[in-house]
Chains A and B, each alone.
Chain A
Amino acid sequence: MKELALLGWLAPLLLWAGCGGGAASPPGDGGNAAQVQGNWYLALTSTSIPGSQGEANLFIKQTGKTISAPSLHAYGAWCLQGGRR
């Protein structure tokens, strides 16, 4: 299975995901939340599969302490494992 995982990482698969937005947060609960709304680029480095990397591109919306991304673009190969796309 490890070999399949490595194969998956080495042959990146483009993943588009439409994700549901988070529930709205109650008014006034954002007092202790840092502001993170905006365009984020996340670079992922695997520690279980040395040398493997992935990334995620998403626009984070924030309401108080609740964040969501209506859509995002993730780049990795996890779903090639086991021949699954």
Chain B
Amino acid sequence: MTGTVEENKVALTIRIGSELQLKLTGTLSNGALTGTYTTIGSCGNGDAGNFTGQISTPVTSTLWAGTALFPGGSADFTAALSEDSAGMVTGSLAFSNSTCVTTLNITGSHWGRLVTMTDTNGMVIDMWGSVDANSKTISGYQLLGGGVCGFDTYDMSRP
């Protein structure tokens, strides 16, 4: 994606391969971006419409708490996450009642309302999910223990 900002006018061009370009032009007002989009390329087929954009606050907090479900049970955990100025996430998760996982150090990313987290010691944990507009809750799917614990959902929240 490339683009420009001129005062409160924002123009974005999102290129996906050589087959699709999304061109968005919008106006920033009170922290929200609204405008129109058009498509160019064989995939876009001339589609056009409107868009709204909202910024998603960083997930940085030491007060995350959540529950991961497994096929045969569940595990509670607390988490401390830190997000840098480029949307990269690092931190740790501590599970209190799991036979599969205990404490994990993670690295990941936060793009828009998507979060991914992977154990830094090697594919012990994969968690991907959606963040709410205020980055107070994350919910999604996890593959804890590289699948040993099973594949299921998780939810976490912070004050």
A residues with CB within 8 A of B: 1, 4-5, 8, 15, 17, 19-22, 32-34, 36-49, 52, 55-62, 65-69, 71-74, 78-79, 81-82, 84
Inter-chain CA distance A17–B55, complex, in Å, is 20
Inter-chain CA distance A6–B109, complex, in Å, is 32
CB pair B1–A58 under 8 Å, yes or no, is yes
CB pair A78–B12 under 8 Å, yes or no, is no
Q: Which of A20, A45, A56, A74 has its CB near the most chain B CB atoms (within 10 A)?
A: A56
Q: Closest residue to A22 on the B side, CB-wise?
A: B2
CB pair B112–A39 under 8 Å, yes or no, is yes
B residues with CB within 8 A of A: 1-8, 10, 12, 14-17, 19-20, 22, 24, 28, 33, 37, 39, 42-58, 85-87, 109-114, 133
CB pair B86–A78 under 8 Å, yes or no, is no
CB pair A62–B5 under 8 Å, yes or no, is yes
CB pair A19–B15 under 8 Å, yes or no, is yes
Residues of B contacting A69 in the complex (Cβ-Cβ under 8 angstroms): 1
Residues of B contacting A61 in the complex (Cβ-Cβ under 8 angstroms): 86
Residues of A contacting B1 in the complex (Cβ-Cβ under 8 angstroms): 17, 19, 58, 60, 67-69, 72
Whether A57 touches B53, Cβ cut-off 8 Å, given contacts A1-B45, A34-B8, A82-B42, is no
Residues of B contacting A73 in the complex (Cβ-Cβ under 8 angstroms): 111-112, 114
CB pair A79–B37 under 8 Å, yes or no, is no
